[in-house]
Amino acid sequence: MLRTHTCGELRLADANTTATLTGWVQTIRDKGGVLWIDLRDRYGITQLLLEDGQTAPELFTIARSLGREFVLKATGMVIERKSKNPNLPTGDIELKVTALKILNPAKLPPFLIDDETDGGDDLRLKYRYLDLRRNPVRRNLELRHRMAQQTRLFMDGQNFIEVETPVLIKSTPEGARDFVVPSRMNPGEFYALPQSPQTFKQLLMVSGFDRYYQIVKCFRDEDLRADRQPEFTQIDCEMSFVEQEDILQLFEGLIRHLFKTVKGYDLAEVPRMTYADAMRLYGSDKPDTRFGMEFVELTDLVQGKGFGVFDSAELVVGINATGCASYTRKQIDELTDWVKRPQIGAKGLIYVRHNEDGTLKSSVDKFYSEEDLKGWSERLNTKPGDLILIISGDANKARKQLNELRLEMGSRLGLRDPNVFSALWVLDFPLFEYGEEEQRWFAMHHPFTSPKPEDIPLLDSDPGAARANAYDLVINGTEVGGGSIRIFNRELQARMFSLLGFSDDEAKAQFGFLLDAFEYGAPPHGGIAFGFDRLCSIFGGADSIRDFIAFPKNNSGRDVMIDSPSTISPAQMQELSITTTVSNK
């Protein structure tokens, strides 16, 4: 090595020894007679000292020619600092330089390589290799590394084996849109990149592997929403001879292991809730359970008193915003405007103030007596000082809107601390959801998910009411994982495909290999996959998964550093038998 120590390593105990450090120039402070350089590497920062009369003049000349981010090698004596820096692990010492060598000069970086930077998103992505020098970004990748290591340690301890599944597979019509890759050797034919290794991991169960996992790249060509990446990573898992309970327990173990070993955090036992309850109590299948403010339905109490908005509503539902009775008229008007924005789409917001003196005052006093309001207050369990917020209308819409309002109130009241973690299993998802546009049923999880045995008769009579053996793990209001117990019987799987609108021939063409495999002794099996990038971002207390990916794409799905996607040459196009004319950018 060109160095004897890293820039994060030297301590007072090393005083009076010589050391050689390498790294990047963070800052230079030139006071004339004394010159300090902060030298940085992945491990930390160490202060270099040059002093008139003590340090050779030619070293001052070199030091004065340095710029930010020059790559240096410095040798010297470790000495105790006169003014120590308690914020730096190496802050008790400095290196009194006796030799200094520029290993490579650097152009001035286009933004500050500092915890707080002046670089905008696009600039930082274009020069991602510089952005990665910054502590916060580097720490995120270190966290990701520890997460992956601890995942492998835990899974290995549970007898899972890591198997790689192919990346060039076959396009299927179900799920999101596929990324496709033209096959040169098979003109006119395409591979698809996997949206997940779902069918392969099931085949591994048929092969008898019993416990499989993989930390694996998946690809989905979806319209990019704020925090989506076209390629992302899953912790993908599958087990044989299990029931739902086995999966919930084992993977709750994984998550708690990760919290304990990576964050030193004792995650409480993960509570469980059915999908139906989650929708009723939070209007969401991924509720943020760091705070309460559960929905309370008021429809039966409020109708028939002449208030048309409530009388015509399918659902009237409210939350108790505790301690918010002091909200001014202006604040409530602002909240009302907030829920009326097109993104939320509520028609309005009704409120009841539970005043400090115990009286109740609502925005619909014209229609309701104090006695009426008392009934509402009792049901919502309000105390003096609380504020009831009510939304009404079509049940599904009202729930969605109140969910947004609840989250917003949680944020405003500081109830969504990123350093507090609340996990929840959501169970018993519906098997299907109806696509109004396509006028057909879609698998809510995927077509390989088994119905609850007791709901199999509903497949014919009322598919929408059939529940699946499917589960999601939610942390702080974000879905971090999901899975199901699978179908392992050919007939049931074929029936499922037919309910999803596949003809027998289509099912055979698309998934014949799986249907065939089910005839050669498929064991009962089930599994789960966790969104690894998302899990890292939650552990890191950050909103964006991008910060936890070394080289992410921007919001338009572009890698602005390597400038991809890009056009290919006419010769390549021809070789791939792609004849469509593609316009140049």
List interacting residues with ligand ASP (CB under 6 A): 196, 198, 482-484, 527-529
CB 298 within 8 A of CB 307: no
Nearest distance from residue 481's CB to ligand ASP, in Å?
A: 8
Taking the C-alpha atoms of residue 551 and residue 129, their distance in angstroms, rounded to an integer, is 9
Q: Which is nearer to ligand ASP, 283 or 527 (CB)?
A: 527
Cβ-based neighbour number of residue 92 at 10 Å: 18
Q: How far apart are CA 432 and CA 466, in angstroms?
A: 7
CA–CA distance, 10 with 291 (Å, rounded to integer): 45
Least Å distance, CB 194 to ligand ASP, is: 9
- Cβ closer to ligand ASP: 155 or 325? 155
Closest approach of Cβ 234 to ligand ASP, in Å? 6
B/e letters for 464-486, b = 16+ CB within 10 Å, e = fewer, are eebbbbbbbbbbbbbbbbbbbbb
Tokens for 4, please give them: 């004897």
Reading across the β-sheet that carries 315-321, which strands appear in turn?
Answer: 296-297, 315-321, 387-393, 350-354, 360-362
Provide, rounded to whole angstroms, the least separation between the CB of residue 533 and ligand ASP: 13
Amino acid identity for residue 448 in this structure: F
Name which of 76 and 527 has its Cβ closer to ligand ASP.
Answer: 527
CB of 196 to ligand ASP, least distance (A): 3
- Least distance to ligand ASP from the beta carbon of 155, Å? 14
Please, which residue, 109 or 175, has the CB nearer to ligand ASP?
Answer: 175
Amino acid in position 477: G
Shortest reach from residue 179's CB to ligand ASP, in Å: 15
Minimum CB distance to ligand ASP, residue 482 (Å): 5
Task: Write down the H helix ranges in 387-531.
Answer: 395-412, 458-461, 490-499, 504-517
- Which structure tokens are listed for 509? 């063409």
Cβ atoms of 257 and 152 within 8 Å: the answer is no
Select 473 or 528, whichever has its Cβ closest to ligand ASP. 528
Query: Is the CB of 92 or the CB of 238 nearer to ligand ASP?
Result: 238
Contacts of 184 (CB under 8 A, 6+ apart): 575, 576, 577
Q: Tell me how far, at minimum, the Cβ of 439 lies from ligand ASP, in Å.
A: 25
- Of residues 372, 412, 383, 376, the one with CA closest to residue 325: 383
Q: Which tokens is 530 given?
A: 């966790």
Beta-sheet strands, E only, within 308-386: 315-321, 350-354, 360-362
By beta-carbon proximity to ligand ASP, the closer residue of 129 and 513 is: 513
Using an 8 Å Cβ cutoff, are 277 and 295 in contact? no
Q: What DSSP character marks residue 181? A: E
Instruction: Work out how close the CB of 530 gets to ligand ASP at its nearest, in angstroms, rounded to a whole number.
Output: 9
218 vs 296, beta carbon nearer ligand ASP? 218
- 212 or 376, CB closer to ligand ASP? 212
CA 557 to each of CA 81, 224, 225, 283: distance values in angstroms, whole numbers, following the listed order: 49, 7, 10, 31
Q: Which is nearer to ligand ASP, 46 or 493 (CB)?
A: 493
| DSSP three-state, residue 443 | strand
